[in-house]
Amino acid sequence: MSNEKDDLDELHELGAIGADDDASHLWIISYSDFMTIMMIFFLMLFAHRLWGRKVFWEEAHQQQLRAATESQVGMVQRLARLADVDVQAQRIDIHLPDALLFDAGSAELRPSAQDLIAGIAPELAHFSGDIVVEGHTDDRPLGAHAKFRSNWELSVARSFSVIRSLIADGVDPGRTSARGYGPYRPRAPNDTPEHRAENRRIEIVLLNPKTEDGKK
């Protein structure tokens, strides 16, 4: 009997020790739960701040777009009195027939063309986006004694002539660039005199200014 009693006492002692060990580890579990909750809380707070900042920038971007759109409406209306204007989502195209600007085979602006560009330049000087001047021709080859070897070279020279005139009238040269496409981007088939005249043109392309996040 004494042996059985001793065994029972040992079991009770071991049980008590085990219970004490379990109780001593309970604070670790509570602490880890607390840290987990705190981590979740700070993550939610961080996500909330990011979301608030995103909403703020989106609202500011929309306000910029509305302001730009309102100012561009007035600009387009004024430009439409001087030239053919085509408004697209990311750009505004100003079409100028070459008959108003140049003599046949020449890249020198006529005096009347300089007056026309002088009327357009103030609007472009206040435009905050990039300005691309594109030269286009028809597909008829130049004469044997022409100054330029190809329509492509002629189209580039004409676009540079327009840019020089714009800069002289106050347009920022840092926002301008020239492109020449020759006969390779026609607006109509080169099958009639009227269509060829439509293809001989200068296009001044106004690209919408970039937003602060780098998008257009």
Overall average pLDDT of the 134-145 stretch: 91
Assign 11 a pLDDT band (cuts: 50, 70, 90): very low
55 and 107 share one domain: no
105 and 163 share one domain: yes
* Cα 180 to Cα 170: distance, rounded to the nearest angstrom: 23
Domain holding 162, by residue range, is: 84-207
75 and 91 share one domain: no
Overall average pLDDT of the 183-204 stretch: 94
202 and 106 share one domain: yes
139 and 125 share one domain: yes
192 and 157 share one domain: yes
55 and 162 share one domain: no
Instruction: Name 109's bridge partners.
Output: 102
For the stretch 54-81, pLDDT in tens is 666 666 545 545 555 666 778 888 888 8
**Domain end position, chosen among 81, 106, 128:** 81
Q: What is the pTM of this model?
A: 0.65
Please, which residues have CB within 8 angstroms of residue 203's CB and are 6 or more apart in sequence? 93, 94, 95, 96, 133, 134, 136
**Domain end position, chosen among 81, 114, 134:** 81
Q: Number of structural domains, the chain?
A: 2
**Domain end position, chosen among 56, 81, 106:** 81
119 and 202 share one domain: yes
| Token pair recorded at residue 70 | 């309102």
Q: Is residue 23 part of a domain?
A: yes
Overall average pLDDT of the 127-136 stretch: 94
For the stretch 142-191, pLDDT in tens is 988 889 999 999 999 999 999 999 999 999 999 999 999 999 999 999 99
Name the residue with tokens 């046949």: 104
